[in-house]
Amino acid sequence: MLGLLLLMMRHPVRISARDQGHPKACGRRAVQGKVLGGTPATESRWPWQVSVHYAGFHICGGSILSEYWVLSAAHCFYREKNIKTFDLYVGLINLLRANNHTQWFEVNRVILHPTYQLNHPVGADVALVQLKSRIEFSDFVLPVCLPPVGLNLSRLSCWATGWGLISQQGHSSDELQEVQLPLIPRTLCQLLYGHPSYITQDMLCAGDIWHLKTVCEGDSGGPLVCEVNETWVQIGIVSWGRGCTQPVFPGVYARVSHFSRWIRYNIEVTPNPPQPTPALAPAFPSTSSVLVVMLVSLPAL
């Protein structure tokens, strides 16, 4: 992959649960070490993964930040979608089958970044989703860490996860997929997309453009995470791309570190909804197959 990895980590970074605003340590999964070109993920490998459903269908991914908050992409919730029609699932691996760790939630509110689409068709593609009830943490359901502002990364293990398309023929998988991706310098990504204005400072690029490994339709809103000192930090949110079957176009992500202060501020000042502990998600119907389609595509410029 051209050997191009970006973002040098010059100083050790310590990320604590206190930094995240909740008592459960973030980014520490029980298992230590679709997505185009990916492989099925095992239970508890990505415990912060969220499936966002609209009108009963999986449309986007997301990630757990705290007991009440999920991070996703703004374009997943834009265009006057009714928040009462959304359902979020955590602890889910197979879209057709809940397990003992799956929890289901309704949405209390959605906060889109105020500059979304203001200066770029997919700029500031960040959404904070507050749940109506509290997430119960376990080895299979855990929050991911936010990156410190200005965090630089290099030679780290970075992964994308989701239920998006897994082949050039448009096939999808009901199983959560994972793929390891190299980060691509912004200047190279701008060159590949043909103009500097297409890739702005609040974005980053990742993808194995030689081996056709990248995020695809249905992965929107999902996390791009890297391991920093044995702690998993989310550096990107799946945002957009110019197709996902072309070898020269990497996936483009909202750069989480650019929005870290805004994310933390809104979580801190927004009161929690008064609600009892959620029940486990009801099992998906066993007598008939549940049709799962990817309604949201990665928007293209």
Active site residues: 75, 125, 220
In a domain, 286, yes or no: no
CA 97, 281, 144, 230 dihedral sign is: negative
Q: What's the CA gap between 292 and 190, in Å, rounded?
A: 34
Any domain includes 22: no
- Looking at the fold, whether 133 and 202 belong to one and the same domain comes out as no
Show pLDDT as tens, one digit a residue, over the chain (301 residues).
222 222 222 233 334 444 444 446 798 876 544 445 455 666 779 999 999 999 999 999 999 999 999 999 999 998 778 999 999 999 999 999 999 999 999 999 999 999 999 999 999 999 999 999 999 999 999 999 999 877 776 777 799 999 876 555 555 678 999 989 999 999 999 999 999 999 999 999 998 876 666 666 558 899 999 998 889 999 999 999 886 665 668 899 999 999 999 999 999 999 999 856 655 655 554 333 333 333 333 444 4
Q: Which domain holds residue 237?
A: 158-257
- Is residue 108 assigned to a domain? yes
Q: Kindly report the pTM of this predicted structure.
A: 0.80
Residues 120 and 163 reside in one and the same domain? no
- On whether both 205 and 237 belong to a single domain, the answer is yes
- Please count the structural domains in the chain: 2
Q: Assign 3-class secondary structure to 141-163.
A: ECCCECCCCCCCCCCCCEEEEEC
Whether residues 219 and 250 share a domain: the answer is yes
Q: What is the CATH number of the domain that holds 128?
A: 2.40.10.10
* 130 and 164 share one domain: no
Give the chain's end-to-end CA distance (angstroms, integer): 24
Same domain, 265 and 130: yes
Residue 12 resides in a domain: no
Task: For residues 227 and 269, give the distance between their C-alpha atoms in angstroms, rounded to a whole number.
Answer: 29
For residues 91 and 114, state if they share a domain: yes
Is residue 105 domain-shared with residue 170, that is, in the same domain? no
Judgement on whether residues 69 and 114 belong to the same structural domain of the protein: yes
Closest CA to 21 of 290, 265, 292: 265
- 133 and 181 in one domain? no
Q: Identify whether residues 67 and 130 lie together within a single domain.
A: yes
Looking at the fold, whether 107 and 169 belong to one and the same domain comes out as no
Residue 20 lies in a domain: no
